[in-house]
Amino acid sequence: MKIYITYKKDRFTKEQIKNLQAVGETIFLEDFFDLDNAPYLKEDEEKILVVDPDWYNWDINANHLSKIKNLKGVCLATTAFDWIDLEYCKENNILVTNVPKYSTDSVAEYAIFLMMALAKKFPMQLKKDYKMEYSKSMLTTEIRNKTLGILGLGTIGSKIAELGSSLGMNVIYWNRTKKDCNYKSVDLETIFTTADFIIPTFATNEETKKLISDDLINKMNNNALINVINNPTEIYNHELLIKRAEEGKVSYAFEIYDDGKKMYDYKGNIMATAPYAFYTKESIERLLDIWTKNAIAIANNSPQNIIM
């Protein structure tokens, strides 16, 4: 058994490496490589891939998977799993695992941070180089008694709702199924027309990619959308939201995914950051712990956190 890990070796503890080596020859591929010449393509021995998405440009497709001999399992370093061809893995009996719930607190806290930044017009302060300007456009708002609309009341959505509620916000939510909770379930239009702050937290798939329509975005008026879960261009009309924010009709916060622009390139109350929502000391420690255990579990024929 060989275990190929596409990540930096020094991120793992000595104990984690020792535990991996106990179940198979462990090989770290620390530098990016040409996928057509990946070292594991030359090996016939049974293997497990422990993969970070950046090494694959977030796309492990059937073409690449079909070239890998004797592949027992793939351990993803993310909660999301839309970047691997699950159908191919299913057809070829390849186990796929993910890392659930490792960054719940990190992402939820980041969402609240971005919400606060928009409420206090922090992006506009930065763009004005902190120039004092007591104008109507710079008037900020308080969070207490405002309405927070959550799209998808899963683990992260529930944590954001909890944090918002603790700040004195009125929390409403949309979910595919009604939840047993203290928050009010409403339809999507109600959220987009009544919530002061809207935060999508649903998983990305073919159905949810069409969930936030242009019509819903156009119904927003003097409210804000905060996105920390997905590449925004995949789940709604990102450019339309930017247009409406630059016109001063809404506020918008999102993480930049290599579109070449920076926050200062946008007008209006737009907060654009690097994708750091998940990246805390605590969440990375949890990720590495679960990720390592997933690989060991597959090697021991007792897989955990299986997607399929």
Closest CA to 251 of 62, 121, 71, 74: 121
pLDDT mean for each 10 residues of the chain (308 residues):
97 98 98 95 96 95 97 95 94 97 96 98 87 83 97 96 98 95 97 98 82 96 93 89 96 83 88 93 97 98 93
pLDDT of residue 219: 97
Q: Where in the chain is the domain with CATH 3.40.50.720?
A: 2-102+281-299, 104-273
| pLDDT score, position 135 | 80
Q: Is 182 exposed, middle or buried (0-12, 13-18, 19+ CB in 10 A)?
A: exposed
Tokens at 97, concatenated: 């695992």
The CATH number given to 104-273 is 3.40.50.720
pTM, two decimal places? 0.88
Number of H helices and E strands in the chain, helices first, is: 10, 12
- Tell me how far apart the alpha carbons of residues 116 and 141 are, in angstroms, rounded to a whole number: 9
Cβ contact 174:188 at 8 Å: yes
Identify residue 182 by its one-letter amino acid code: N
Domain spanning 2-102+281-299, CATH architecture: 3-Layer(aba) Sandwich (3.40)
Burial state string for 67-97 with b = 16 or more CB within 10 A and e = fewer than 16: ebeebbbbbbbbbbbbbbbeebbeeeebbbb
Q: Is 307 helix (H, G, I), strand (E, B) or coil?
A: coil
Q: What is the pLDDT of residue 259?
A: 65
